Structure formats: structure tokens, C-alpha cells
């Protein structure tokens, strides 16, 4: 019957991770356990995000993070949850978090020689918490290069192309976890009735064409000329190329990119007067999102280079980013090349 059929159709994140472990012949289960630990922390954070309006977890924690931004209690809480899950899971030897100036080294007996490194933005878009807009967690996983002992900063500042896995959680109308281990992208929706992320979006692919462009047009006057020209291109009438496009901008990176991944589109955060290097962080925002979008058939660039090829020089460095449907990003790059001034 339908109920049995539905029960059969449900595949939890845990079952999926174990099933896909077979994709990696030498896997001994460390990455599987690491992904499971992240999934568990995401469920705990989700519980607090969902009641943020009800308990005194809104408003400022009275502390300031490296970005000089007032920390909302929820992003401090999320940071603590993910780091403690990684600490107790024993598969991660160092965490680079948006909420910490320096790396957090996990030097317990079980973790100090662990194989993996995690870079994470525990709660991105936290300025949206108080207005009930979807927010997200973004994570990126590398294999350590140094052999043992305290990890080196070079273990953390690896090019995005060396990511072993990357994913995000979007705490929206439903809570989803979307991740890749380099063999495609899969999306899981949290079923609160069983407390499990269940496979809901297998093998996600971004449409090559799209008609959504996402950019904060309030910064228009400061954009490079090529970006201005591309925005006018998006707004021009041309039925042959399905223009004018639709403008959609939530102001929460995970939400904007998740929508474009499903519907097709381009997300743009160019340099601006306020952010001459771009606003979004290379290590724990741009690289994981670029890995996911490429794995879904999309493109991610800073205007001149593939995001995943950029050599990071410091933990919190920023980058311009243009990512999404292949044909849209390619058209944007043509506009940037026409004017010669990249980003």
C-alpha cells in the first residue's frame, strides 16, 4: 500500500552516507562518521533556529566576532554545537570557523591525528535571524596534508579543488542538508516526525540556462562596469533569450544559491566600495558553494579565475563570486572581459 511504499522510499542521510561509502574503495568510514556528526549538529541547531522567536536566543550575545560584527546568540550557539560535535566525533583535527579569529585545534587523543579538516560558517546570514529569513550553515572538508602532530595552517589554506566534501544546511520553510563528496550533489529534507534527514533531491543538477539573477543592486554605482553592463543585459527585452530575467535577492547566501540551484540562475557578489575584495569569504563560503555548484553542473568564478583554483592566503580572506548556471556565468564573464576591468 501507499504507506508501505512511502516507507520503502525513505532513505535517511545516515543510510545514504553508508551506501555511498562504497564509492570510495579505501574508505574506512572516517568521512562517513564526519558527515554523520555534521548532520547531528545540524538537527540540534535546527531545533534552536526554529524557536528563535520564542526564547531569549535572539538579539546580541554581546560579543564581537572577527568580522567586527555583533554576534547574535544563535550564531554563537551554532558555532558551539558544530565544534563540539566535531570534537566528540574524533574525525577532525582542526576547525576553521567564521566565528573564530584563529583555527580551533582539536588536540584530544582521538582527534589530534585525525585525517580531516573542516572549514565552517556555522550560521551564515545571521543578520536575517530577527526578520525570520532563511539562514544557513556552510561547511567544507579537506584531508590534512601534514602527516601528524599539530596541523599546519597550510592544511587549512588548501585550494578549493582539494575539497573532499562540501555542503550546506538551509533552515527555511523546511530544513535541508545538501552535500557533495565529488560524485554529484544530493539533497535531504529533515522529517521532524522521525528526526531524520531523508533523501528528497537525489542527483541535483542546476539548469544550464536560467532566468534569475541575484545581486544586491543597491551597490550598483560601485560595481565594475562589466557587472553594470550585465545587469542591464538581464533587464533588456529579448524574447529569443527569455529576457528580461527575474531579479531575486534574499540577502542570505545559502537561500539565494539554493533557489538558483533548483531553478537555475546566477548569484553575483562583485567587489563594491564597501568590500573592495568582495564580501563573501573564500574558505568557508565561496569554496564550498563553488564545489557544490560545479558538482551540479554549474560554474563558479571570481571573474577571472575559477573559485576552486584560488590559492587562499589567509583564513578570512574575501573574494568576488559569480556562480550558477553555466551559460549565465559565461555571458557575465564575456561582459567583464569586454570592459577589461575584472572584479
Take residue 189 and report the three cell numbers written for it: 529534507
**C-beta of 216: minimal distance to ligand P6P in Å?**
3
β-sheet with 246-247: strand ranges across: 246-247, 212-214, 266-269, 321-324, 299-301
**C-beta of 292: minimal distance to ligand P6P in Å?**
15
How big is the CA angle at 80 (ends 76 and 84), to the nearest 5 degrees?
Answer: 175
Instruction: Pick the closer one to ligand P6P by CB: 270 or 312.
Output: 270
Q: Is 203 annotated as a binding residue?
A: no
**C-beta of 253: minimal distance to ligand P6P in Å?**
3
The rounded distance, in Å, linking the Cα atoms of 67 and 114 is 29
Q: Is 279 annotated as a binding residue?
A: yes
Whether the CB-CB separation of 41 and 83 falls below 8 Å is answered with no
Q: Is 115 annotated as a binding residue?
A: no
Q: Is 249 annotated as a binding residue?
A: yes
Helix (H) or strand (E) holding 104: strand 104-105
Instruction: Pick the closer one to ligand P6P by CB: 21 or 302.
Output: 302
Instruction: Pick the closer one to ligand P6P by CB: 118 or 254.
Output: 254
**C-beta of 151: minimal distance to ligand P6P in Å?**
26
**C-beta of 125: minimal distance to ligand P6P in Å?**
4
The rounded distance, in Å, linking the Cα atoms of 235 and 53 is 38
- CA 44 from chain centre, in angstroms, equals 18
Q: Is 90 annotated as a binding residue?
A: no
Q: Is 126 annotated as a binding residue?
A: yes
The rounded distance, in Å, linking the Cα atoms of 253 and 126 is 11
Instruction: Pick the closer one to ligand P6P by CB: 91 or 121.
Output: 121
**C-beta of 285: minimal distance to ligand P6P in Å?**
7
Instruction: Pick the closer one to ligand P6P by CB: 253 or 320.
Output: 253
Question: Which chain residues interact with ligand P6P by CB under 6 A?
Answer: 124-125, 127, 216, 251-253, 279
Instruction: Pick the closer one to ligand P6P by CB: 252 or 319.
Output: 252
The rounded distance, in Å, linking the Cα atoms of 150 and 299 is 35
What are the residues whose beta carbons fall under 8 Å from the beta carbon of 168, sequence distance 6 or more? 136, 137, 138, 139, 177, 178, 179, 254, 257, 258, 288, 289, 292
Take residue 231 and report the three cell numbers written for it: 545587469
**C-beta of 6: minimal distance to ligand P6P in Å?**
35
- Other beta carbons within 10 angstroms of residue 69's beta carbon come to 14
Q: Is 121 annotated as a binding residue?
A: yes
Identify whether 244 is preceded by a cis peptide bond (ω within 30 of 0): yes
* DSSP SS3 for 66: coil
Closest CA to 126 of 251, 267, 37: 251
Instruction: Pick the closer one to ligand P6P by CB: 8 or 132.
Output: 132
Q: Is 196 annotated as a binding residue?
A: no
Annotated binding residues for substrate, written as ranges, equal 124-127, 216, 249, 279
Residue numbering of the annotated binding site? 98, 121, 123-127, 216, 249, 279, 285
Query: Which parts are annotated binding residues for Mg(2+)?
Result: 98, 121, 123-124, 285
Amino acid at each position: 500500500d501507499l504507506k508501505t511504499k512511502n516507507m520503502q522510499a525513505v532513505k535517511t542521510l545516515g543510510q545514504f552516507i553508508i551506501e555511498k561509502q562504497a564509492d570510495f574503495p579505501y574508505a574506512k568510514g572516517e568521512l562517513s562518521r564526519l558527515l554523520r556528526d555534521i548532520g547531528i549538529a545540524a538537527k540540534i541547531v535546527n531545533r534552536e533556529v526554529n524557536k528563535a522567536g520564542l526564547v531569549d536566543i535572539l538579539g546580541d550575545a554581546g560579543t564581537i566576532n572577527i568580522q567586527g560584527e555583533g554576534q547574535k546568540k544563535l550564531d554563537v550557539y551554532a558555532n558551539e554545537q558544530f565544534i563540539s560535535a566535531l570534537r566528540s566525533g574524533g574525525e577532525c583535527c582542526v576547525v576553521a570557523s567564521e566565528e573564530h579569529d584563529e583555527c580551533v585545534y582539536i588536540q584530544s587523543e582521538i582527534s589530534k591525528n585525525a585525517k580531516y579538516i573542516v572549514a565552517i560558517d556555522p550560521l551564515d546570514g545571521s543578520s536575517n535571524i530577527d526578520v525570520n529569513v532563511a539562514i544557513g550553515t556552510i561547511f567544507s572538508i579537506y584531508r590534512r596534508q601534514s602527516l601528524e602532530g599539530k596541523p599546519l595552517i597550510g592544511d587549512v589554506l588548501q585550494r578549493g579543488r582539494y575539497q573532499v566534501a562540501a555542503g550546506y544546511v538551509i533552515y527555511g520553510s523546511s530544513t535541508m542538508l545538501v552535500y557533495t563528496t565529488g560524485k554529484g550533489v544530493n539533497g535531504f529534507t529533515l522529517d521532524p516526525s522521525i528526526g531524520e534527514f531523508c533523501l528528497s533531491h537525489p542527483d541535483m543538477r542546476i539548469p544550464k540556462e536560467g532566468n534569475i539573477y541575484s545581486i544586491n543592486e543597491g551597490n550598483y554605482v560601485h560595481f565594475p562596469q562589466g557587472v553594470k553592463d550585465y545587469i542591464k543585459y538581464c533587464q533588456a527585452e529579448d524574447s529569443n533569450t527569455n529576457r528580461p530575467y527575474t531579479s531575486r535577492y534574499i540577502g542570505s547566501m545559502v537561500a539565494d544559491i539554493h533557489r538558483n540551484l533548483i531553478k537555475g540562475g546566477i548569484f553575483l557578489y562583485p567587489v563594491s566600495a564597501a568590500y573592495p575584495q568582495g564580501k563573501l569569504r573564500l574558505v568557508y563560503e565561496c569554496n564550498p558553494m563553488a564545489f557544490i555548484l560545479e558538482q551540479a553542473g554549474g560554474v563558479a568564478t571570481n571573474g577571472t579565475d575559477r573559485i576552486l583554483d584560488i590559492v587562499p592566503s589567509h583564513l578570512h580572506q574575501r573574494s568576488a563570486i559569480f556562480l550558477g548556471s553555466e551559460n549565465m556565468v559565461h555571458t557575465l564573464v564575456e561582459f567583464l572581459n569586454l570592459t577589461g576591468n575584472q572584479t
